Chain A
Amino acid sequence: MKRSITIALSLLTLLIIVTGCGNKQSQSKKMTIVGSTALQPLVEQVASEYSEKNQDISITVQGGGSGTGLSQVQTGAVLIGNSDVFASQADGIDADKLVDHEVAVVGIVPVVNPKIGVKNLTMQQLQDIFTGKITNWKSVGGKNEEIIVINRAQGSGTRITFEQSVLGKKTAVKSQEQDSNGTVQQIVGSTPGAISYVSFSYVNNKIQPLSIDGVKPNVTNVTTNAWKIWSYEHMYTRKNPGTEVDKFLKYIQSHEVQSKLVKQLGYISIHDMKVSKDANNHVSK
């Protein structure tokens, strides 16, 4: 028994030594990207294609949330931080020290439980629902059913975008909150009277996407800003992050990636956009 303890302890020591050595060896060609879970699948996919073409570089992509991404790139713990929001929209981040790289556009659509029988709302109605003024679907032409608002977690990129575009300066009603597109999709699909919002790519046949003021939620309408609820996906770096990082970011913004992978993963290409938006939600052509 004692021998096995000794063996295990020495294995442990060995492991720690291995860790120390391993670090020094691989730092030069390693690139770590952390942040938004929504953007993760895209970056991961691009990274794996990129490393196939450039054998000498290994890219690690992790989630953790936009807040984590921005914090970590600011402190320099990682090279690239993924974020759903502008750095200037996040408290505690010095946006001047970071460089923004917009790599995709994502459209957000309000969704309801299909049994409600509502397919279109006016922007005003939508605002009233999320601020708690309208509490029954009857008032907007649906069934006599209580409205159950499901919001996203405070500070999440999707929620910031949604509230900026729909609520303006008003505060949302206190309500249930969920923290991912997937869970929202499941809960709205199974809860009578539920309303929430998801990214375009999460709409399926169990939930009913809503048109707003008769405008349909689709890619063309987003590119012209006819559909107002959309945001950029950002990859932030510090200033002068080095040529390897620049090359990777160029690659992800290239037409090759934007026209294929970005679309396959349900985002909208930055090259298709006919308008642009700044952190204060001002849209310009």
Chain B
Amino acid sequence: MNAKRSDHLATGLIYTFVAIVVLILFGLIGYILVSGVPHLSWHFLTTPSKAFAAGGGIRDQLFNSLYLLILTLIISFPIALGAGIYLAEYAPDNWVTSVMRTAIEVLSSLPSVVVGLFGYLLFVIQFQMGFSILAGAIALTFFNLPLLTRNIETSLSAVPNLQREAGIALGLSSWKTTTGIILPAAVPGILTGVILSAGRVFGEAAALIYTAGQSAPVLNYGNWNAFDPNSFLNPLRPAETLAVHIWKVNAEGIVPDIDAVSNGTAAVLIIVILIFNISARMLGNRLYNKLTSSK
């Protein structure tokens, strides 16, 4: 049986490819963790970084990364959701839509540094935001929008038409059908998009160097007044993230423990992303079950 043999062959091939990929991924993550985890300590996580002496930590960078992620999602998620709904549910199949789609894809291929400079000249200088988390979040929105929009659109389109028809048949408006039936069913797919784009936020450096800046001024974590320049909540203060910190330490760092700081930070980044992914997934599953009453 020829078909059977090629079936076996193909299966074997696919398993081999997967094995290779798994090997690479494990090697990579293992490499980062093995070289980084030994440098981790409570002290490392809770002290501010140092300019030239050994023993600096990453307290502010860690917080900045998380804060930046939240701000970016607040800005980009609603827009992407609206756009995704438009593309999946309302968009007519004509050249305008097709141009829109192409434009979104082009947006995602812009090199970070170009977006960074655009953000710098427009937001930091022109709109006088200064080097700030907000400017950084807006710049990151440029990367996130295409990914998120695309993802939301695909997840919405993947929901069977049957569900739409059922909604309409029940007399619901198409908006109600979309938000009440289609959207909940698409939650897991949308979540993947959010997680992927969150990863991009954590990992981005080039665009942030020119927008959120590369210095981490001393923060006061007891100051809840978001207007105060010292406050950790102020969206208008410059903020160096973990990824930028790694870049900076390796490019121009003169601390004697560059390797420790750089590898340690990388390990922290991986662990943070892991925690974020797992908790987002758990939350998403719960949300999915609740919204679709599948349990």
Contact = CB atoms under 8 A, between A and B. Distances in A.
Q: Do A and B come from one complex?
A: yes
Interface string A182-210: 11001000000000000001100000000
Contact of A26 (B127, B210, B229): B229
A126 B168 CA distance: 79
B254 A201 contact: yes
Contacts of B230: 58
Interface in B114-142: 120, 125, 127-131, 134
Interface string A1-37: 1100100110110010011011101100010100001
A265 B252 contact: no
A41 B248 CA distance: 10
A72 B210 CA distance: 13
A61 interface: yes
B130 A60 contact: yes
B192 interface: no
A9 B252 contact: no
B185 interface: no
Nearest to B129: A19
Nearest to A184: B251
Nearest to A201: B254
A64 interface: yes
Contact of B78 (A9, A37, A179): A9
Interface in B193-243: 209-210, 213-215, 217-218, 226-227, 229-230, 234-236, 238
Contacts of B253: 41, 182
How many chain B residues sit at the interface, stated as a range, is 35 or more
A203 to B, nearest CB: 11
A175 interface: no
B75 interface: yes
B258 interface: yes
Contacts of B74: 8, 11-12, 15
B131 A12 contact: no
B252 A38 contact: yes
A60 B51 contact: no
Contacts of A179: 251
A233 B11 CA distance: 63
B102 to A, nearest CB: 26
Contacts of A40: 214-215, 252
Max chain B CB contacts within 10 Å: which of A22, A41, A64, A264?
A22
B82 interface: yes
A181 B214 contact: no
A80 to B, nearest CB: 14
A10 B273 CA distance: 28
Interface in A27-68: 30, 32, 37-38, 40-41, 44-45, 48, 58, 60-64
A170 to B, nearest CB: 28
B179 interface: yes
B51 A44 contact: yes
B288 interface: no
Contacts of B214: 40, 62-63
B229 A181 contact: no
A182 B252 contact: yes
Given A32-B130, A181-B252, A48 B78 contact: no
B183 interface: yes
A215 interface: no
A180 B244 CA distance: 14
A23 B237 CA distance: 11
B150 to A, nearest CB: 19
A12 B215 contact: no
B179 A1 contact: yes
A41 B227 contact: no
B48 to A, nearest CB: 10
B81 interface: yes
Contact of A266 (B213, B226, B250, B254): B254
Given A5-B81, A60-B238, A37 B213 contact: no
A179 B179 CA distance: 50
Contact of B218 (A18, A48, A186, A202): A48
A202 B51 CA distance: 14
Given A15-B71, A26-B236, 10 more contacts: A12-B74, A15-B235, A37-B251, A40-B215, A41-B253, A48-B218, A60-B130, A60-B238, A61-B215, A180-B250
7 contacts: A5-B78, A8-B77, A18-B236, A58-B230, A62-B131, A183-B250, A265-B254
Interface of B: 51-52, 71, 74-75, 77-78, 81-82, 120, 125, 127-131, 134, 175, 179-180, 183, 209-210, 213-215, 217-218, 226-227, 229-230, 234-236, 238, 248-254, 258
Interface of A: 1-2, 5, 8-9, 11-12, 15, 18-19, 21-23, 25-26, 30, 32, 37-38, 40-41, 44-45, 48, 58, 60-64, 72, 77, 179-183, 186, 201-202, 264-266
Closest 6 CB pairs of A and B: A180-B251, A8-B78, A1-B179, A182-B251, A45-B51, A41-B51
